[in-house]
Amino acid sequence: MVSSLRTHRHAHYPPPWFSVAPMMEWTDNHYRTLARLISKNAWLYTEMLAAETIVYQKDNLDRFLEYSPEQHPIVLQIGGNNLENLAKATELAEPYKYDEINFNCGCPSPRVAGHGCFGARLMLDPKFVAEAMSVIAAHTDAPVSVKCRIGVDDHDSYNELCDFIYKVSSQSPTRHFIIHSRKALLNGISPAENRSIPPLKYEYFYGLLRDFPDLRFTINGGINTVDEVNAARRAGAHGVMVGRAAFQKPWHTLGHVDTAIYGAPSSGVTRRQILEKFQVYGDSAVGKYGRKPTVRDVARPLLGLFHSEPGNGVWKRKADAAFLHCTTMKSFFDETLVAIPDHVLDSPIGEPSSGGEDPFANIHTLLPPAYESREQELLYA
């Protein structure tokens, strides 16, 4: 597989106006295969892979890094806090020709942030992040980027966020930052609560656009529809990243990306056609590594495909039963798709719902005071 990917690094791809967030245990190869069948233009991200995993599994890399050429444009997200391992991991991933390498400085999970300064906790050490980004960039031909929060615990002022961006961008080749517009609370709340309890502060994101005009920023957090994506872009965002809505409602979210965001003509593709192609992929994937992946593993991303449609509840119940004994995707579909009416399976995506409130309508009246960098102090801090 590696050799077939070598020619794709410098191919022409659409701009990253819309991307699907890296989500641990969600944005795996199976999900990305489904996502690409629905949208040809969305940028896809891997799950976060720890640099140590890549290094220690160097004889088994395909299991973690392989993907089909159709998944381009695709970004590898890595995490870690050891410069040597980050260098080795990037070097080992290089033959797979990802289109960008992203460094995780935003995950609040105790498994990540609490594991020896990893994930969101790294925002407290911008000097190390700059060193890490320089090391990563030195071992790949791909562009590099950072995904972070707007702050951590009580380190949540706009100036502190700007100090982080300034230090990392001035001391490394990093020119792209994906900003989750909430701060991370590292003690006392769960990752799920970290996605809802800290308030969204979109004004911080748009302040960064004003104060760092030479950098590129992608907004993330609380954006769930193509209408909201387009509203964020109209307000000036270079790109928009969507997370759980793209996984939980892939048809209703990704199905509108190519037309409503990229201006492409409708492909007219139906869910039946998508599932026929996914079945071919799925039956080649099931059991590829011994007992794994199972039909349940491969089919998991499909469970939101009929969200809010007639037959969805019955389909999910049939799927739960089929997971207990089905050993091929064909048998799984034979047993479960009878729950979905033909008109649902054979209809192309409809028009996106519209008319919701624009969360960015007055954002430029709410911006924090302009950042004034303490250049000498910051560079030598």
Catalytic annotation, residues:
107
Q: DSSP secondary structure string, 287-313?
A: TTBTTBS-HHHHHGGGGGTTTTSTTHH
**What counts of helices (H) and strands (E) characterise the chain?**
19, 9
* Contact (Cβ atoms closer than 8 angstroms) between residue 254 and residue 243: no
Collect all residues with Cβ–Cβ distance below 8 Å to 231 and sequence separation of at least 6.
358, 359, 360, 361
Q: Is it true that the peptide bond before 110 is cis, omega within 30 degrees of 0?
A: no
CA distance linking residue 9 with residue 73, whole number of Å: 9
Contact 315, 306 (CB under 8 A): yes
Among 203, 90, 180, 193, which residue's Cα sits nearest to residue 144? 90
Distance CA 281, CA 173 (A): 37
The neighbour count for residue 109, using CB atoms within 10 Å, is: 19
**Amino acid identity for residue 137 in this structure:** A
CB atoms within 10 A of CB 366: 13
CA distance 184 to 148: 9
User: How many Å apart are CA 87 and CA 72, to the nearest integer?
Assistant: 23
Joined tokens for residue 250: 């892939």
Residues sharing a CB contact under 8 Å with residue 149, sequence separation 6 or more, in sequence order: 105, 106, 108, 120, 123, 179, 180, 182, 183, 184
Residue in 266, 260, 301 with CA at minimum distance from that of residue 33: 301
Of 310, 320, 368, the closest CA to residue 340 belongs to 310
